[in-house]
Amino acid sequence: MAKPDTSTARQKLISRLTGYWRIEAANALLVPVFMVLVADGRIGVGSIAAILPMMALLIIGAAYWRAKLHQIEHGTSPDKTVKWIAALDFPMAIASAVAIAVCISLWSIDGLAVGTADRWVATAAAVLAALEYINYYHRQLQHFDHWADWKRLIAGGGFRKSQLRQDIDRLKITARSSPDQKPR
């Protein structure tokens, strides 16, 4: 059996990772701008509270994929970036939950939202924040951009552990097994 062309596979991976980090970085700016434009600028503090964690998670995604790209292209370890992102796990979970709570409040409490567009912007941003949080820190939700992932999902493989979660877990195991690790 012939070996696969690793240079072609490597180039495809580099191309995919380049697209990932650039799209996430662009979306961190473009999605909020689009939301504000669709709302005709009529958003309030609630929408902003939901938009901020969404933006932060998109920036986290961009930083992660860029670190993975540098690992493939230059052999540099992504561990420093992964540790930084891992430290943001709990704060981003809280921020996403707060975004959802704010969204519910805007729909539930009269006079809290600037208007219906404000409610919809907050809703979209809160849902996107929650989905991005799950997609990065827990389970890979996105399967439409890579054929192998899509085939595995359709074949009943379910939602696998996200790549970031795998890297975070790897660092935890490495830290526990390190000889210079102090006993607890």
pLDDT per residue, tens digit, the chain (184 aa), is 556 567 888 898 899 899 999 999 999 999 999 999 999 999 999 999 999 999 999 999 999 999 999 999 999 999 999 999 999 999 999 999 999 999 999 999 999 999 999 999 999 999 999 999 999 999 886 655 655 655 665 666 666 789 999 999 999 887 777 666 554 3
Contact 81, 134 (CB under 8 A): no
Give the Cα separation of 132 and 45 in Å (integer).
21
| R_g of the chain computed on alpha carbons | 19
Q: Which is nearest to 63 in space by CA: 104, 120, 20, 101?
A: 20
CB atoms within 10 A of CB 97: 15
Angle between helices 6-38 and 116-137 (to 10 degrees): 160
Contact 70, 18 (CB under 8 A): no
Structural domain spans, the chain: 12-140+149-172
Residue 161 phi, psi (nearest 5):
-60, 135
Q: Which is nearest to 47 in space by CA: 69, 23, 31, 71?
A: 31
